[in-house]
Every structure is written in structure tokens, then in C-alpha cells.
Amino acid sequence: MHGLDIVIPAKDPRPDFLETADLWLAQVLPEGWSSHLFIVDDGSNGFDFDVLVRRHAGRLTLISHAHSRGRAGACNAGVWAGTGEYVAFFDADCFPAHADVLVSFINSLQSGADIVYGPLTSQGEGFWGRYFRAVCQRRERSFAQGDAFALTTACCVVRRELLQQVGGFDERYRRYGFEDRDLIIRLMALEPMVAFSDGSLVVHGDDLRLEDICRKQQDAGRFTSGLFQERHPDYYRQTAFARVDSRQGSFLNWIAWILPLVLPGLLRLGQLAIASDLLPYPLKALLVKLLSGVFYFKGTRQSGVES
């Protein structure tokens, strides 16, 4: 019997997370395969995970952290609690598009793959749904063109043996950013067989907001970019992040003095622009990228300062 452990880290998930968990446990599996769902509550406030435990006794394990350990630590807790031959990672705000998502992953695994990624999409037709789909499609094109580090663990399955060899996620990434890419770089050093499963479509909930995206980018610049840069300096220098990193001689250093004065206003203007029906999508998307980059730059200037 082949075992597949499904690991979902969750911190204050959306109200429909109960239905998301139901959908993962309703997945069809081929003969000779079993699955177990590990939900890691990473310091949530108020969400009743026990409902799921009662509903799916025996098929679901809840791991609770009194205080957040970050996504890396939450994922590791799920990984090491299981014993399955393979480990699937999904984000809490993502759900399977159909009942055969895991079957499609398993078909690739049975063909010899050690790591299998699946496509991500968005259900909405508004700006944020379109923007998310564009980001995912760009990553998929990069992966297809040979960039082995282009995708994330928001929708993927990894052979447990590989995770054991690299020690799982690096739990020093306690805040947002780079924990995925760090793990993937270390996994790829083992020269695994990697595949992309078109049939393993997963849908992302459309609750993105500009202020949240900018805050996450600032956190990544402040709290985790330094560790990633230290561990993978050559790779980091090739990324777009390096171009807006104050420690890498970013052109934004020339105007750093004015940013604290204008960033709050720019964020408000950005929110209004995205909500407007007058601006075309390409301009809105460019605005998101520019503001994300500026907030990442701001975070790198605060690097090393805890809060």
C-alpha cells in the first residue's frame, strides 16, 4: 500500500476552510493507495478546527501550535507527523478543482517522478483573479523553459525520502518569504526526477488585497531575504528581488529618504486605481509590481531589525 500524506498549514483560514478539507478527503484514489490529511494550526485565533477532527476521525490529524512557527515550521510539523511514502503540500486557501487531482499526481509518481507540481488557477473574473492567474502562468512557462526553481510548494507532491535527506523546510524562515524557494533549491541538488501534472488543477480563493501583498513583500525583505541571500547568494543575485534590495546597491537607494513620506499615499492611490473601472488591466498589474518592489526595498532597509 502506497501512502500519501496531505499537509496543509493554516493560520486563521477562511470560513470555507471546512469545505476545503472535505474536498481533499473526498478525492478519489487508485487501488493500492491511501491518504491521510494533516492540518497544522499555526497559532490561529478562534477558528474551530475540532469540527474537522470530529467529522473525519481517523482520516485527519490536527497539529496545533500555540504560537506561530511560520509556514516552514508548520509544514515540517505535518511532514514529520506522517509516515506516507509521499507528501503533498497545499495552501489553506486552495482547493481541488475536481475529484481526480490526487489521481493525476499519483499517475506521475507511478511513472517515476520524485517531485510533481500541479497548476494553480483562480476562480474569480475580477482584477485579482486575473492577476493571480497571470502570475501562475508566468511561473509555469518559466518552469517549462528550464527554470527548475520557478514553482512553489503551494501545489506539489514530494517523495518523503528526499525531504528526509534535506531535513525538510528550514525553520529559520519564521516569517513570510523564501522558505519555498530555499527548499526547492536544496531538493534540486539531489537531482530528482521532476514532473508537471496538468490534471492536478488547484483553485486559489480570490481574497487578495494590495495592502496585504505589499506587507508580505516588506516582511520578506525585512525578515527572510537576508537568510536566503546568505544561503544562496549566486541565485539571489539573478532574481528580481536583488534589483530592489537596498543591500545590493538598488537604484531606489537614491530616493530612499522620501519613501517614508510618500509610501502611505502611494498605497492609497494604488488601492483606488485597482478598484477603478477606468484603468486597463496592464496598468493595474504594473502598479502592483512596482508597489510590491518598493515595499520589498523598504523591508531590506529594515533588515535585521525585529518587531
Backbone angles phi, psi at 196, to 5 degrees: -125, 125
Task: Give Cα 279 distance to the centre of its chain.
Answer: 29
pLDDT of residue 261: 82
Q: CA–CA separation, 77 vs 82, rounded Å? A: 9
Q: CA–CA separation, 41 vs 56, rounded Å? A: 16
pTM: 0.93
C-alpha dihedral sign at 118, 116, 39, 169: negative
Classified as helix, coil or strand, 24 is helix
| pLDDT, tens digit (0-9, with 9 covering 90-100), for 168-190 | 999 999 988 999 999 999 999 99
pLDDT at 306 over 80: no
Position with higher pLDDT, 187 vs 259: 187
Half-sphere exposure of 236 (CA within 13 A, CB side): 19
| pLDDT, tens digit (0-9, with 9 covering 90-100), for 3-14 | 999 999 999 888
In sequence order, what E strands does 200-239 have?
Answer: 202-204
Grid cell, residue 10, equals 493554516
pLDDT of residue 250: 81
Amino acid at 148: A
Buried b (16+ CB within 10 A) or exposed e, 55-67: ebeeebbebebee
| pLDDT, tens digit (0-9, with 9 covering 90-100), for 261-299 | 888 898 999 999 999 999 999 999 999 999 999 999 999
pLDDT of residue 206: 67
Residues 6+ apart with CB under 8 A from 215: 295
Q: What is the mean pLDDT of the chain?
A: 92
| pLDDT, tens digit (0-9, with 9 covering 90-100), for 109-167 | 999 999 999 999 998 888 999 999 999 999 999 999 999 999 999 999 999 999 999 99
Backbone angles phi, psi at 232, to 5 degrees: -135, 65
Residues 6+ apart with CB under 8 A from 98: 201
213 falls in which pLDDT band (50, 70, 90)?
A: very high
Of the candidates 302, 304, 210, which has an alpha carbon nearest to the alpha carbon of residue 256?
A: 302
Strands 202-204 vs 94-96: parallel, antiparallel or unpaired: antiparallel
| pLDDT, tens digit (0-9, with 9 covering 90-100), for 32-79 | 999 999 999 998 888 888 888 888 888 899 999 989 999 999 999 999
Q: CA–CA separation, 136 vs 51, rounded Å? A: 32
pLDDT of residue 57: 82
305 falls in which pLDDT band (50, 70, 90)?
A: low
Q: CA–CA separation, 295 vs 260, rounded Å? A: 10
253 falls in which pLDDT band (50, 70, 90)?
A: confident
Q: CA–CA separation, 7 vs 52, rounded Å? A: 14
Backbone angles phi, psi at 62, to 5 degrees: -100, 125
